[in-house]
A and B are shown apart, each in its own frame.
Chain A
């Protein structure tokens, strides 16, 4: 069955750029039906959507993070990636990759039905 797995450094220094990759196994990322997204959860807090990408490269970003975030896709490797620059301690969180629908209207289809296990990113010098 389809699985998602995040990978990347667990520790990032302040002001540096975070780079994470989500590898998709058990199925193709190049599907008409889904977007692939990144979310995060600071310790003891709630969930925040960061952004999403379609296999064609079409992206959506959270307006509050848009200036710092780039999401890209590599269909040949069946993976997608998150880059977030100017990291601070406030960005310390568990980062998840997840899948959501690509249908319309978005309010009906943008729910996250498959998640990776998550990777903890700590921002500290």
Chain B
């Protein structure tokens, strides 16, 4: 079954761009979904199907796939973006959704 790998932490200054990577499989055209989880709260979907955003999610959040890496990019980072971020895909080999281990985004 799939094992998705994410860096444990990413730090960025306010106003800069944060890139959170997700690896471990060949993403190709595979759909990837991303969640934001602030401390003590439930996860919130921020990007689905690689690059689509749910209603209410700022355009600053974008997603991409390239080869063996998927990425969530947050432009013009704000203090309120500080959270854990998880990638998720459908595991074809074992027929269920799987999550990456999560990346803690710190806004300096």
> Are A and B associated in one complex?
yes
A binding-site residues for B, Cβ under 8 Å: 46-49, 60-63, 96, 100, 105-108, 110-113, 115-118
State which size class the interface on B falls in: 20 to 34
16 A-B contacts (beta carbon < 8 Å): A46-B102, A47-B43, A47-B88, A47-B99, A49-B96, A63-B1, A96-B43, A100-B97, A106-B90, A107-B89, A107-B90, A110-B97, A111-B48, A111-B49, A115-B42, A115-B43
Alpha-carbon distance between A91 and B98 when the two chains are bound, in angstroms: 18
Alpha-carbon distance between A104 and B86 when the two chains are bound, in angstroms: 23
**CB pair A113 B45 closer than 8 Å:** yes
Which chain A positions have C-beta within 8 A of B96? 49, 60-63
**CB pair B94 A116 closer than 8 Å:** no
* Contact A112-B35, Cβ < 8 Å, known A46-B102, A49-B96, A107-B90: yes
Does B92 belong to the interface (CB within 8 Å)?
yes
Does B69 belong to the interface (CB within 8 Å)?
no
Within 8 A of A (CB), among B11-62: 30-31, 33, 35, 41-45, 48-49, 54
Which chain A positions have C-beta within 8 A of B97? 49, 100, 110
Alpha-carbon distance between A105 and B99 when the two chains are bound, in angstroms: 18
CB distance from A66 to the nearest CB of B (A): 10
Alpha-carbon distance between A47 and B98 when the two chains are bound, in angstroms: 8
**CB pair A113 B89 closer than 8 Å:** no
Given known contacts A63-B1, A112-B35, A113-B54, what 16 new A-B pairs fall within 8 Å (CB)? A47-B86, A47-B102, A48-B99, A49-B96, A60-B95, A63-B95, A63-B96, A96-B42, A96-B43, A100-B97, A105-B90, A111-B45, A111-B49, A112-B45, A115-B43, A117-B42
